[in-house]
Structure 1
Amino acid sequence: MPEGDTIWLTARRLHEALAGRALTTADLRVPKLATVELAGRRVEEVVSRGKHLLARVEGGLTLHSHLRMDGSWHVYSGGQRWQGGPQWQIRAVLGNDERTAVGYRLPVLDLLRTDEEEDTVGHLGPDLLGPDWDPAEALRRLLCDPGRTMGEALLDQRNLAGVGNVYKSELCFLRGVTPWTSVGEVPGLERVIVLAQRLLEANRSRVGHVTTGDTRPGRRNWVYGRAGRPCRRCGTRILGADQGEHADARITFWCPRCQSGPAPEPTRLTPTPNNRY
């Protein structure tokens, strides 16, 4: 699932392509929206809220999408070939005289009243890249369940919105605790929150999540996707194991020497295929 900085960048690209112009094309290819007509309406803005995308359209309407694991938005100029996937995977096409935004494999696509957006995203915690960012509130929410594991608490968008599996693993490594450490036992928890915001802020305008400071392929992350490879700090083999209710989507990586705290028996001992980080 994309991290919050990826969604922020997607929103910015959609905003640059669509905002301030009337839609000449608005093709929503999901049954519940098949009869909706948005063509002729001006796109006011496109913003992100955690991992949600909100395209606000003239007339008090918001097209809400969530990419989850496989969805994506691509922006094309006139005459440019669409390359996000086969035609049957397209769920939305929004275009004006200059640019066209195409949404592929969107598992969530809804039309909301703009003044009712909070019904959909109001449960989210402070957005790490949003105007509502409040580290004190994020800390308060995390501490509401001090016995929960740090990895699961960071992924819970009700605590702070924007952290995904990459940053979960990297943040725990950088703070020297395993992702199975209880929230209440993490020293300097407020520093984890500050670091999370700094990392997403630093990466929001580029593709990829650089946590090491080295942008070269294969050197961008400390532990994420690196099971079986030597730790960049100490040389110990990085381990991986499933964590949380949706284990397949939440493989966690850690260094057993650099990170203290509880950990399960490793289940991932080889590098993630095609890992570039």
Structure 2
Amino acid sequence: MSFVKISEQPSLYENLEKKSVREILEDINQEDQKVALAVQKCIPQIDKLVSQIVPRMQEGGRIFYMGAGTSGRLGVLDASEIPPTFGMPPTYVIGLIAGGDIALRNPVENAEDDEKRGWEELQEHGINEKDTVIGIAASGTTPYVIGALREARKHGILTGSISSNPDSPMAAEADVAIEMIVGPEYVSGSSRMKSGTGQKMILNMITTSVMIKMGRVKGNKMVNMQLSNKKLVDRGTNMIVEELGLPYEEAKELLITHGSVKKATDFYKQNH
């Protein structure tokens, strides 16, 4: 199958090594400004995917992100930020990267070329029809991801994809294909740049909107965040002060006793 790999096309800029630092920075920023607009065009597809994920997660379903290299790392990053931000167990959003966790820091040779491994990993996690599998690949050609999406779909599991090329083999395997066309990279083919930035934005959009719809945010606040450091305890205490009108120390004690803003405020309201 031949299709145009926009993500691999030559940079719009020449002779990068001859430019000043300031010129390089301004050029990169110029390119980065295209990313949010490319993501904006994907909102209908992101909406379509999220709207199908929410009812599945309400029944105990999970999101699996799958990718290799930068794409895999970004999936693992987004998944790892869900427990501290929203107080969800780490089993709800799971990031899988070709080559396993060692690939987070080191390139793992040929890991992304194994078309069977992705589905095997999903089976190791007991994948079922309530789950969602989202493939992430700038090129849209990563065999590890394509094989997993194909098998997931055969088993009636919701599949999504995020790529930087139109009509890719990966998109063909997804129920909902998100195609974020950011154009050629500043350094030709370096998809850690605009493609990676856009992927991060879309992953933030998916999980944040899902978690809001799952009731993990109140008003505009992270009422279920983990109290893993002093800054977060202070933030949580101030939320309780604002909502219940209590003195700071009393609010802090209430928060620490109950472990989250939501549990603390719910307990106080039921008992006063």
TM class by shorter chain equals: under 0.3
Q: Counting helix residues as a fraction of each chain, which structure ranks higher?
A: 2
TM-score, normalising length: structure 1: 0.24
Q: Counting strand residues as a fraction of each chain, which structure ranks higher?
A: 1
Higher relative contact order (CA 8 A, sep 6+): 2
TM-score, normalising length: structure 2: 0.24
